[in-house]
Amino acid sequence: MNDAIQRIRIEAEQDKQNKIKEVNNAKEKYKQLMNVVHNTSCDYTNNRHKMKRCQRCKTLKEANQIKVKVYECPMPLAHESALAVIFELQMPIEIRCYRDIIWQFTNRSNSHLENCMYEWLNVPSHGSKLKSFCTGFNNHKVRLVSSTKSISQTHYSTPPSIAHTSIEGFLFENSLKIQISPTKPIGFEDEVRILTPQLDHPDYKQLQFTVSTTQFVQNDVIAQLSNYSTRLKPSQIIEFGSFRSGHRLQWWNLLTILEMDSLSFAEESVAILIIHSILQYGPLISESKTFSESWCPESHQQLLEDHFVNELIVRLNHHLDDCQLNWQNELVLVVITMRILSICNTNMENKTVNLILKCRKIGEKSQVEKYRPVPAGKHRK
Residue-wise pLDDT tens digits, 369-378: 666 675 665 5
Kindly report each contact of residues 62-68 with a partner whose C-beta sits within 8 Å and lies 24 or more positions away, as own/partner: 62/33, 63/29, 63/30, 63/33, 63/34, 63/37, 66/26, 66/29, 66/30, 66/33, 66/162, 67/26, 67/159, 67/162, 68/19, 68/22, 68/23, 68/26, 68/159, 68/160, 68/162, 68/170
**Inter-residue contact 247 to 298 (CB < 8 Å):** yes
Sheet holding 179-180, edge to edge: 118-119, 144-146, 179-180
Number of neighbouring beta carbons within 10 Å of residue 190: 11
Q: Give the model confidence (pLDDT) of 165-224 as tens digits.
A: 888 888 889 888 888 888 777 777 777 788 888 999 999 999 998 888 888 888 888 888
* Percentage of the chain lying above the pLDDT 70 cut: 90
Q: Give the model confidence (pLDDT) of 44-56 as tens digits.
A: 777 777 777 788 8
Q: What is the largest CA-CA distance in the chain?
A: 123
pLDDT classification of 348: cutoffs 50, 70, 90: very high
| pLDDT given at position 370 | 65
Predicted TM-score of the model (pTM): 0.58
Q: Give the model confidence (pLDDT) of 57-106 as tens digits.
A: 888 888 988 898 889 898 988 898 989 988 888 888 888 889 888 888 87
| pLDDT given at position 110 | 65
| pLDDT given at position 25 | 93
pLDDT at 351 over 90: yes
Which parts of 168-224 are beta strand (E)?
A: 171-172, 179-180
| pLDDT given at position 359 | 86
Range among 8-12, 114-118, 149-153 rated most confident: 8-12
| pLDDT given at position 380 | 54
For residue 172, list its beta bridge partners.
72
| pLDDT given at position 314 | 94
For residue 45, list its beta bridge partners.
48
What is the rounded CA–CA span in Å between residue 57 and residue 37? Answer: 8
For residue 180, list its beta bridge partners.
144
| pLDDT given at position 183 | 76
| pLDDT given at position 288 | 46
* Closest by Cα among 217, 218, 178, 199 to 84: 178
Number of neighbouring beta carbons within 10 Å of residue 89: 20
Phi (first) and psi of residue 263, to 5 degrees: -130, 145
Q: Give the model confidence (pLDDT) of 213-272 as tens digits.
A: 888 888 888 888 888 888 988 989 999 999 998 888 999 999 999 988 888 888 899 999
Give the residue with greater pLDDT, 335 vs 53.
Answer: 335
